[in-house]
Homo-oligomer: A and B are copies of this chain.
Amino acid sequence: MARSERRELKIREVLALRQPDLTIVIENIHDPHNVSAVLRSCDAVGVLRVELLYTSEKFPRIGRKSSSGANKWLELRKHSSVDECYAALRKEGYAVLATFLGESSRSLYDLDLTKKTALVFGNEHRGVSKEAARKADGNFQIPMLGMIQSLNVSVACAVALYESLRQRLSAGALNRPKLNEEELAVLYRSWIER
């Protein structure tokens, strides 16, 4: 098979596995290495579009090398406020769940991540803002059994995204494309030019 044919096939295969019903919101994550690792995990589990909520930090410049180009294969959508971001997501039918260590936070492993979900991850030092946590449809936390009280944000994001992938694989949710034929065609024409 010619190189261009392999590429076309790869793009079709990857698009057929994209999960338009799974997204993440990254709120003011400022380290480019963290953002790159997050985007790489998003590509790996089939996220189609990532929501960027940058209110107090700038979205970092991402080197092509560190992200291994994952940003090339993700749609990035910018938001200017928590309200605007959550309203857009809810209009599209997403339940918005924010990582937050609180008394009413549920365990990651008690969530049904086969449903249409947007997961919110916060800044490296401050975590998800109180506003973003409070206005979400629910909060969750990743169980931690150790002496240290936090995980690297790109690690936390990958653990949650992969739990979603595990649940979807287990439910047979990846056996057919979630994008319809028209959406697949539009994305294919865009990706093939990248």
User: Which A residues form the contact surface with B (CB < 8 A)?
Assistant: 10-11, 14, 17, 33, 37, 40-46, 68-70, 72-73, 109, 142-148, 150-152, 154-155, 158-159, 162-163, 165-166, 169-170, 174
User: Which of A11, A69, A73, A147 has the most CB atoms of chain B within a 10 A radius of its CB?
Assistant: A147
Whether A152 lies near B151 (C-beta < 8 A) is no
Assuming A40-B148, A162-B162, what are 19 further A-B pairs, CB within 8 angstroms?
A40-B155, A41-B152, A42-B146, A43-B146, A44-B148, A45-B145, A69-B147, A70-B147, A70-B148, A109-B166, A109-B169, A109-B170, A142-B162, A143-B169, A145-B165, A145-B174, A152-B158, A154-B155, A159-B162
Q: Is the interface of A mostly helix, strand, loop or mixed?
A: helix
Q: How far is the CB of A77 from chain B (nearest CB, A)?
A: 18
Number of copies: 2
Q: How far is the CB of A121 from chain B (nearest CB, A)?
A: 13
Whether B10 lies near A147 (C-beta < 8 A) is yes
Cα distance, A71 to B162, chains bound together (Å)? 25
Whether A17 lies near B145 (C-beta < 8 A) is yes
Whether B154 lies near A152 (C-beta < 8 A) is yes
Q: How far is the CB of A155 from chain B (nearest CB, A)?
A: 4
Whether B44 lies near A144 (C-beta < 8 A) is yes
Cα distance, A109 to B169, chains bound together (Å)? 9
Would you mind naming 22 contact pairs between A and B with Cβ atoms under 8 Å apart? A14-B147, A37-B152, A37-B154, A40-B148, A41-B152, A43-B146, A44-B145, A68-B148, A70-B146, A72-B147, A73-B147, A73-B148, A109-B169, A109-B170, A142-B162, A145-B165, A152-B158, A154-B155, A155-B158, A158-B159, A162-B162, A162-B163
Whether B146 lies near A14 (C-beta < 8 A) is yes
